[in-house]
Structure 1
């Protein structure tokens, strides 16, 4: 964004604010055309700032993802590495339920042509990998578990429970069942 004209920066900020509201209301499938219409710009302007839906969604979730990554760094110093990992995964799940669309963004990661080092999935993955590595080193978590496994688990729980009457309760139940399988002594 550096080097852009001030009107382009204002357009970007306004489009992003509208996109945040639309994604909160409609989830990851929020209409780019509606975002453009509500923002009072053409769809080409939206696409110039956000060439793909994933780029738009990454921008929408960037700040909260940053907070989750900072939280992972803080938890890295916890005495019990398994508890730290589980606590961070629980926070990631809670945010994925609260922020419609984040689970969809994280599930985009197999589309390698759109993955960049600063995409939400890559940044979340790196933060989780650090916590997981420490828990594996401490033999508190099974060594065959990868950060991709954990992200798939969180995304799956968030997407599978989002339409329940009480998604948080159902997600927490599924999470507790899944976490039991992380134990280093588990099969």
Structure 2
């Protein structure tokens, strides 16, 4: 990519991050182009679809969450790292209103620009879950799809004005439901 094209690409992504944070995944592409100071044609040359723009915008964060999960696979507390990673996923997806629906749809659509990133991130989380399950620290009747769906549900709840004040409490309840030792210790308290 030419240096001026790369500069435009990076600038559009930076502006898109701000606009999508402000207005959600359905933010106006025309508004993104206008705020980036480029024509709509320039935006579409770099990102032919909304999903392509979202994929580029989200990919680095998905990659970071995947890398973090891989690093955590050998940590000493499989239950703690699973909850920590889940918290990071929920926090990230909560940054972009509406991205949860896009991510969930991308999981089923192999043609989606987001499919590979979402699947890779889910797989990394599944390994953390499997490790906690193998240690007897997480319930064994759930899988990576369930974990990903719970993260999406928690992020969606955080997007809802009526639920946002309770988001931390709801996260704790879900974490307790996933972790067998936490559920058992909570019930004895």
TM-score range, shorter chain: 0.7 to 0.9
Distance between the aligned counterparts of 2:25 and 2:154, measured in 1? 16
Matching of residue 154 in structure 1 with residue 131 in structure 2: no
Query: Contact conserved, 1:24 with 1:101, CA < 8 A, in 2?
Result: no
Distance between the aligned counterparts of 1:170 and 1:83, measured in 2? 21
Matching of residue 17 in structure 1 with residue 6 in structure 2: no
Structure 1 equivalent of residue 66 of structure 2: 69
Matching of residue 178 in structure 1 with residue 174 in structure 2: yes
Match of 2:100 among 81, 99, 103: 103
Structure 1 equivalent of residue 112 of structure 2: 114
Query: Contact conserved, 2:103 with 2:114, CA < 8 A, in 1?
Result: no
Q: Closer, same or farther in 2 for the Cα pair 1:122/1:52, shift >3 Å?
A: farther
CA displacement at 1:60 relative to structure 2: 1.4
Distance between the aligned counterparts of 1:68 and 1:140, measured in 2? 22
**Deviating more after overlay: 37-46 vs 16-25:** 37-46
Q: Closer, same or farther in 2 for the Cα pair 1:117/1:30, shift >3 Å?
A: closer
Write the deviation string for residues 31-65 of structure 1: whole angstroms up to 9, x where unpaired: 11111222232323222212222221121123333
Structure 2 equivalent of residue 46 of structure 1: 43
Match of 1:92 among 89, 93, 97: 89
Aligned length: 181
Where structure 1 has 5 or more consecutive residues not aligned to the other structure, the ranges are none
Structure 2 equivalent of residue 6 of structure 1: 3
Distance between the aligned counterparts of 2:46 and 2:86, measured in 1? 31
Distance between the aligned counterparts of 2:148 and 2:49, measured in 1? 22
Write the deviation string for residues 98-117 of structure 1: whole angstroms up to 9, x where unpaired: 34454344223223320566
Structure 1 equivalent of residue 187 of structure 2: none
CA displacement at 1:123 relative to structure 2: 2.9
Distance between the aligned counterparts of 1:117 and 1:94, measured in 2? 20
Query: Contact conserved, 1:135 with 1:141, CA < 8 A, in 2?
Result: yes
Q: Closer, same or farther in 2 for the Cα pair 1:25/1:116, shift >3 Å?
A: closer
